[in-house]
Structure 1
Amino acid sequence: MLRHRLGKLLIRDDVFWKQRAKTFWYRDGDLNTKFFHAAATIRRKLNRIEHLEDGNGFECRSEDGLKHIARDYFIQLFQKSNGSRVNVINLVPTTITKEDNAMLTTPFTVEGFKHATFSMQADKCPGPDGFNPGFYQHFWSTYGHEAYQAGCQWLASGAFPPHVNSTNITLIPKGDSHTSMKDWRPIALCNVVYKIVAKSAFVPERSILDNAMVAIEIVHYMKAKAKGKSEDVALKLDISKAYDRLDWDYLRDIMTQMGFSSRWVSWIMLCVETVDYSVLVNGASVGPIVPGRDLRQGDPLSPYLFIICVEGLSSLLREAERCNDIRACEREAFCMKNILATYEEALGQAINLQKSKLFCTRNTPEDLKSLIAATIGVHQVLGTGKYLGLPSMIGRSKHATFKFIKDRIRNKINSWSSRCLSQAGREVLIKSVLKSIHSYVMSVFLLQGSLINEIEKMLNSF
């Protein structure tokens, strides 16, 4: 009797700490030890909002004040924009065929719903209804067919029941300073039943490295170009709150222009426009907030919808190229500035010029480089920095270029208390966490033997 009761208490304690820690700590860390508890507690402290500055720069520390600042921030961020879209939409070509639409609007199946359910990680954070994917997976045999019928009925009627599309926003710190709402990344926690309906799949035979390789090859070509009559310029743009500012009317218009069927467009807009938010501030819910624009970070549809919307910028650039208005000279710099302004107005986006970068080939005169950078309003750099976590250009010293790998590993080791870890726990963390840091870079670049030896020494000493 006592042994059974003790077992239940230990399981309850294990689940409690599992909820407080990240999934990989529970899976790869020293399970349910002092180190695991310390990691969970530190993470909770880091995610707590202690103080924020309001719009006037005044610091607030009270819980009610923090809630008020968060609510006002998202209400303003999600306000509908009324920019002109015609100049962008009319340039977008119709590329979706009847066959594409037939495939997209194929009736849903029970197998499709089941695949969407079981493709989710069981312990992912739940939405406002409190049920995580593991609940639906465990009881699939009981409720699966009923969920399938309900989802089909919602799509056919063009309406969700109340609160199905309600979403919590949790705030994740980014950077070292956490004094304003801009220093916190909003992540949407959708209800799992909504995610099943809005099922998602990765594009087959595509990898995140494909995009990185294209950028690296372009910069490599530009770095090597020292002669020639024409100059080349690369512009790396940083879009502020790219998902949060995306206009819904623009999304509907561009999908229609591209040739998506009205049925498909209505399904997408049902998922996008029926959302309401509650912001989680130190565990307390603030809301509801009804947005007028926005794509949710955490919605499986959002990455694909954003790619569709950026097709407008691609169309503007193709039109400028057709008119021979996109070359490295002063007049074309003004043309590029107008293209970006048109794109911002149509989508409701805001390009952060302070974080955007300009890279020119070596045969570009210095005065022309400065003129183009000043005209567009961006900084001129020797390379475009990192793209998708990889350096876009390698300088004279490979060791200096990839030194960031060694620094990241050292910072990870220093943040872990080896006194709280067993020998087996250290080995697991090395294999699952530390080695993955340089494995990603090595999938594209060949690292120097001296750097690899230094990394191995750090791992061995840990």
Structure 2
Amino acid sequence: MHSFAKLVTKILANRLANKLNMMVSPNQSAFIKGRFIQDNFMLVQQTSRLLHQQNKASLLLKLDITKAFDSVSWPFLIEVIKKLGFWQIWRDLICGLLATSSTRILLNGFPGRHIKHRRGLRQGDPLSPMLFILVMDVLVYMFSKAENEGLLQQLSSSKKLHRVSMYADDVVLFLCPTLTDIDLILSILKLFGDVSGLHNNVQKSNVYPIRCSEEVLLEVQTLMPCEISTFPCRYLGLPLSLYKLTRQQFQPFVDKIADQLPNWKADLMTRAGRRVQVQHVLTSLTVYLAMAVDIPQWGLDAIDKIRRGFLWRGRKEARGGHCLVAWGKVCRPLKLGGLGISSLPELCWALRLR
């Protein structure tokens, strides 16, 4: 992208970012100031558990959008921003940015001719993610319209639940396992794909049943040719379950944190370097998990064991003789004589107050 286009894109992105929160439904959290990825996870987890507690037969459908950024229809995008009230000058600038996009292929080190794009959004462009979620928000509107018109059965009779959760192109949808609802959902997805270019790959999508009998699942499988999976599962990198996670189910996430250790070069790092690694890599992964999941005490102890071992030995474990200072003192602030490493129990307690 040339310098003038970069300048225009940056100006448009900065101005749009301040208004995006008012344009996009609360079901979408990606690229919007004041919204967090954990909000989507907690929304899906609370809805799943509530349906399970109410003994309500329902389905959780995880959609797979094919080549999301590369397949957005330009005419549809322009029509969407026109309906949202974007001025003509905005639409002209966005059309100009889209029309000037091209690709060149390096062959034996030499760039080939320019290949003009006819659809899709620029990769690495600060404006592209915002335009993409404006397009995806149309799908939320279509589902809401169908439910408000009585075409889709309500998930719960006692309270209104969020049917859709979106984080960019990561879409989760709740529906009732009836022939009418499934047919309508598939029709909406097909219609949205035809007009926007964002098609759902049914074969790569997953269905997670909630309180569904075997007979119902057989009917669902004939109507939706996608894989039927079971809880617990992963959503946005976090463990999603209808019950409290067992030790066996939670252990892979502790192992994932341990796998982030650069064991092959730990011996080359100074203790100060290992301290930075502990605080900014191992602790940050724990924070992401703790913002949405209640980590059990044994899990915190296991993560602390990994952090302590890497700090003192550069390994996953360190026995008492290798630990030069008590871990409680290590977790004190620098001005109080510690190393400024976060205390996980206190950190998780603070995050739960959020």
What displacement does 1:399 show?
2.5
**1:334 counterpart = 2:183:** yes
The question of whether the paired residues in 2 share the 8 Å contact of 1:245 and 1:293 is answered with yes
After the TM superposition, which residues 102-121 of structure 1 pair with which residues of structure 2 at under 5 Å, given as runs? Answer: none
1:197 paired residue number: 11
- Aligned equivalents of 1:248 and 1:355: distance in 2? 26
- SS in structure 2 at match of 1:316: helix
**1:316 counterpart = 2:136:** no
2:300 paired residue number: 452
- SS in structure 1 at match of 2:292: coil
**1:381 counterpart = 2:244:** no
1:12 paired residue number: none
TM-score (norm 2): 0.68
**1:241 counterpart = 2:241:** no
**1:359 counterpart = 2:208:** yes
Aligned residue among 219, 226, 230 for 1:371:
219
What displacement does 1:431 show?
1.0
- SS in structure 2 at match of 1:349: coil
- SS in structure 2 at match of 1:383: coil
What displacement does 1:252 show?
0.9
What displacement does 1:296 show?
2.2
**1:277 counterpart = 2:106:** no
What displacement does 1:374 show?
3.1
**1:442 counterpart = 2:290:** yes
- For residues 274-297 of structure 1, the C-alpha deviation after alignment (integer angstroms, 9 at most, x for no partner) is 222235689865552211001123
Structure 1 runs of 4+ aligned residues shifted over 6 Å read 280-284
Label 1:311 to 1:413 Cα distance change in 2 as closer, same or farther (>3 A). closer
1:219 paired residue number: 48
1:115 paired residue number: none
Aligned residue among 250, 258, 276 for 1:410:
258
- SS in structure 1 at match of 2:126: coil
Aligned residue among 190, 195, 199 for 1:346:
195
- Aligned equivalents of 2:37 and 2:13: distance in 1? 20
- Aligned equivalents of 2:66 and 2:232: distance in 1? 18
Aligned residue among 411, 414, 430 for 2:278:
430
After the TM superposition, which residues 138-153 of structure 1 pair with which residues of structure 2 at under 5 Å, given as runs? Answer: none
- SS in structure 1 at match of 2:187: helix
- SS in structure 2 at match of 1:219: helix
**1:258 counterpart = 2:72:** no
The question of whether the paired residues in 1 share the 8 Å contact of 2:189 and 2:199 is answered with no
- Aligned equivalents of 1:281 and 1:394: distance in 2? 52
1:461 paired residue number: 309
- Aligned equivalents of 1:307 and 1:423: distance in 2? 44
- Aligned equivalents of 1:369 and 1:278: distance in 2? 48
- SS in structure 1 at match of 2:203: coil
The question of whether the paired residues in 2 share the 8 Å contact of 1:222 and 1:360 is answered with no
- Aligned equivalents of 2:93 and 2:248: distance in 1? 50
1:393 paired residue number: 241
After the TM superposition, which residues 14-163 of structure 1 pair with which residues of structure 2 at under 5 Å, given as runs? Answer: 163=2
Label 1:455 to 1:204 Cα distance change in 2 as closer, same or farther (>3 A). closer
TM-score (norm 1): 0.53
- SS in structure 2 at match of 1:295: coil
Q: What do you get for the CA RMSD once the two structures are aligned? A: 2.7
- Aligned equivalents of 2:251 and 2:74: distance in 1? 43
- For residues 16-72 of structure 1, the C-alpha deviation after alignment (integer angstroms, 9 at most, x for no partner) is xxxxxxxxxxxxxxxxxxxxxxxxxxxxxxxxxxxxxxxxxxxxxxxxxxxxxxxxx
- Counterpart of 1:367, as a letter, is E
What displacement does 1:261 show?
2.7
Label 1:312 to 1:193 Cα distance change in 2 as closer, same or farther (>3 A). closer
- Aligned equivalents of 2:131 and 2:60: distance in 1? 25
The question of whether the paired residues in 2 share the 8 Å contact of 1:344 and 1:351 is answered with yes
- Aligned equivalents of 1:405 and 1:319: distance in 2? 39
What displacement does 1:430 show?
0.9
- Aligned equivalents of 1:273 and 1:283: distance in 2? 27
The question of whether the paired residues in 2 share the 8 Å contact of 1:385 and 1:393 is answered with yes
Identity of aligned residues (%): 26
Label 1:286 to 1:441 Cα distance change in 2 as closer, same or farther (>3 A). farther
- Counterpart of 2:7, as a letter, is V
Which runs of 5 or more structure 1 residues have no equivalent in the other structure? 1-126, 128-162, 166-190
What displacement does 1:447 show?
0.7
2:121 paired residue number: 295
Label 1:428 to 1:264 Cα distance change in 2 as closer, same or farther (>3 A). same
2:343 paired residue number: none
